[in-house]
Structure 1
Amino acid sequence: MKIEEITKLSQKAITIFEEAVTKYHYLDTTEQLLNNPYEKGSMEALLYKKNWIDTVQWHYEDLIRDPKIDPKEGMHLKRKIDASNQARTDLVEELDQYFFSLFEKVSPLEGASHNTESPAWAIDRLSILVLKIYHMQEQIMRTGVTKSHVDQCQAKNQILLAQQEDLSNAIDQLLLDLSAGKKFMKVYKQMKMYNDENLNPVLYDSDKTKKN
């Protein structure tokens, strides 16, 4: 993807996110496999995969809140959520590396500043917003609920749509500033520790016990 295309990325991202959410809900099960329709390694493929991970995790989070869930199943789901969180983080970092590679040859202007949030983490929030809007619209269309419930959901949906527009504009402006040298970016790693057997004391102490 070229710089001139990247600087108008938000609407493309929303379209791809909506496509992934809709495709997931055809079967509406967390057990289905990802079937990415975009070319491997492309920005489009990364965006589709990003939202697919988010969508599956959204439904994991629903399932684990079932008050009647079997404790063993709950623990199994918790581990799936941990793995999904790690996959989500890895994908965001891969997206940021894509952006970094695209903009690394742009010479920063004098006084260029570093943004508090990287492009990919802003896109992560945009992906979640698309999910919230989809499920809020489900509530608006839900039958057997009170008018008050529908009215409240409609009001919330309007706020979500406004947030989506504002975030989209901010993402496009950030990418435009990066392409013009007004901003510069770095790729930061999240350094998550809970899944690392060398950093989580519960995991490395457990490993010592097994060896003994």
Structure 2
Amino acid sequence: MFSESAFQIFEKCIEDYHIKDDVDQPFENPYPNDDIAHLLYRKNWIDTVQWHYEDLIRDPEINPEDALVLKRKIDASNQDRTDLVEYIDSYFLNKYRSVQIKENATINTESPAWAVDRLSILALKIYHMQEEVDRKDASDTHRQNCKTKLDVLLQQKIDLSLAIDQLLLDIEAGNKYMKVYKQMKMYNDEELNPVLRGEK
């Protein structure tokens, strides 16, 4: 099923990142450009780097100038994330473009790619919660609390994966149809953000 292969790609990406565990490390995509795996790997890499940006910016001793630079990187990362989700949705739109939509077909609350976005973030939560479970310098109470949380995350993975696969099956069968809205983020647009266009 799609969700299983996607999650495996996310796990590989997270493992690859943590070989160096450096937000400034160069990015290399092991999958060919014309493969959906290429987009999924890139998507999770963005999420993984941003996960660590978010850790860094919460350092109470961070220099304000460094924090501002990091905030700009987080903003850029958010835009990249949104762009990748829209690319993934374009893949699904193209894949199912010839499906005959049934007269009583319904629309989903989110597109397939935004559900995949949540699966990518969930892979990161599971990875890092597992790290906490395995921490040798943590108390038994801490590890047990994290194990309880990890169990919830793993159940969430099962449920979300099932929902994604069912959505794709419904789209393929014409029971649901895709209707994609661009995010139209305003804060990065010089024409739409009054601060960027110089208004007081």
- Smaller-chain TM-score range? over 0.9
Equivalent residue number for residue 92 of structure 2: 99
Alignment deviations for residues 151-207 of structure 1 (CA, whole Å, 9 cap, x no partner): 00000000000000100000000000000000000121000011111111100016x
Secondary structure, counterpart of 1:201 in structure 2: coil
2:121 maps to 1:122: no
Distance 2:80 2:194 in 1: 22
> Which aligned pairs between 1:174-193 and structure 2 lie closer than 5 A?
174-193=167-186
Moved more, 104-113 or 158-167: 104-113
User: Alignment partner for residue 67 of structure 1, among 49, 60, 64?
Assistant: 60
The one-letter amino acid of 1:94's match is: Y
Secondary structure, counterpart of 1:204 in structure 2: coil
The structure carrying a bigger helix percent of its residues is: 1
2:169 maps to 1:147: no
Secondary structure, counterpart of 2:121 in structure 1: helix
How high is the TM-score relative to the length of structure 2?
0.98
C-alpha deviation, 1:41, in angstroms: 2.9
* Gapped regions of structure 2 (runs ≥ 5): none
User: Alignment partner for residue 160 of structure 2, among 154, 158, 167?
Assistant: 167
The one-letter amino acid of 1:34's match is: F
> Which aligned pairs between 1:50-61 and structure 2 lie closer than 5 A?
50-61=43-54
Alignment deviations for residues 20-75 of structure 1 (CA, whole Å, 9 cap, x no partner): 00000000000011110000131000000000000000000000000000000000
Alignment deviations for residues 120-166 of structure 1 (CA, whole Å, 9 cap, x no partner): 00000000000000000000111221111000000000000000010
Distance 1:121 1:74 in 2: 29
User: Alignment partner for residue 36 of structure 1, among 23, 29, 39?
Assistant: 29
Alignment deviations for residues 94-124 of structure 1 (CA, whole Å, 9 cap, x no partner): 0001101111210111200000110000000
Equivalent residue number for residue 3 of structure 2: 10
2:132 maps to 1:134: no
Distance 2:50 2:34 in 1: 22
Output the aligned Cα RMSD: 1.0
The one-letter amino acid of 1:35's match is: E
Could you list the structure 1 runs, at least 4 aligned residues long, displaced by more than 3 angstroms after superposition: none
* Gapped regions of structure 1 (runs ≥ 5): 1-7
Distance 1:33 1:196 in 2: 28
Distance 1:200 1:79 in 2: 15
The one-letter amino acid of 1:168's match is: S
The one-letter amino acid of 1:88's match is: R
Secondary structure, counterpart of 1:111 in structure 2: coil
Q: How many residues align?
A: 200
